[in-house]
Amino acid sequence: MCPTSIPPRRSGFRGGGEAGLRLVGPIDLTSEADIARLYDGVPKLWASVHLAGGFAATGVVETDKAALMQQIDMNLVSCFLCCRAAAKAMRGAGGGRIVNVAARPALEPRTGAGMSAYAASKAAVAALTAALGEELAKDNILVNAIAPSILDTPANRQAMPTANYELWPKVDEVAATILFLAGPENVVTRGAVVPVYGRS
């Protein structure tokens, strides 16, 4: 979760070194009250990047209702509530950018075999993004999402030691796509779910 109050200027939205960038947490992103407090504390919100989520690789037979609801809460509910709070704040500030994180199975559901609850929850994030991209455009709020494949992280390397890491997208490469979608240079892209697959 990364709300930021960087002003909408056309140059200099580079992220890390910006004085207006705030990384906050931990909070309960399924709590409306917690999220309201978080967003109320950000003056003149410009961009909100919704990175929170969870993953479960279990087949449908092994996934009970509690496990399904956990995936929906972690991936869809947290995203929806943050989008809602961000939209409210951005309307009062004259616009802004929202970037959500879906996943490859959201765009390619067959790749969600063996993780159907996760795939369904991320597909819901993709649908939410497209709907909000249309709904909020009139308010100068551009809503988009990225859909990563397996990211090249130490945890993923450890979990898949025989994989070809060179094909996986790198974290900084994916971050560059997020920064463009969240930045003032993005003046036309909305409702998109952008694949960030690398060569995988």
Q: What is the pLDDT of residues 149-183, one digit of tens each?
A: 999 999 999 999 999 999 999 999 999 999 999 99
46 within 8 A of 181, measured Cβ to Cβ: no
pTM of the model: 0.88
Residue-level pLDDT at 19? 62
Q: What residues contact 113, with CB distance under 8 A and at least 6 apart?
A: none
pLDDT, tens digit (0-9, with 9 covering 90-100), for 93-107: 999 999 999 999 999
pLDDT, tens digit (0-9, with 9 covering 90-100), for 28-62: 999 999 999 999 988 889 999 999 899 999 999 99
**Beta 47-50 vs 96-101: how paired, if at all?**
parallel
Residues labelled catalytic: 118
Q: How far apart are CA 10 and CA 46, in angstroms?
A: 13
Give how many domains the chain has, as a whole number: 1
Could you tell me the residue range of the domain that residue 183 belongs to?
A: 2-196
What's the CATH code of the domain at 41?
Answer: 3.40.50.720
In this prediction, residue 132 has a pLDDT band, given cuts at 50, 70 and 90, of very high
Residue-level pLDDT at 92? 86
In this prediction, residue 6 has a pLDDT band, given cuts at 50, 70 and 90, of very low
Residue-level pLDDT at 15? 46
Could you tell me the CA-to-CA distances from 142 to 4, 155, 160, 169 in Å, in that order? 15, 32, 36, 25
7-45 residues labelled b (16+ CB within 10 A) or e (exposed): ebeeeebebeeeeebbeeeeeebbeeeebeebbeebeeb
Q: What residues contact 177, with CB distance under 8 A and at least 6 apart?
A: 146, 194, 196
120: number of Cβ within 10 Å: 18
Helices 78-93, 32-40: axis angle to 10 degrees equals 30
In this prediction, residue 7 has a pLDDT band, given cuts at 50, 70 and 90, of very low
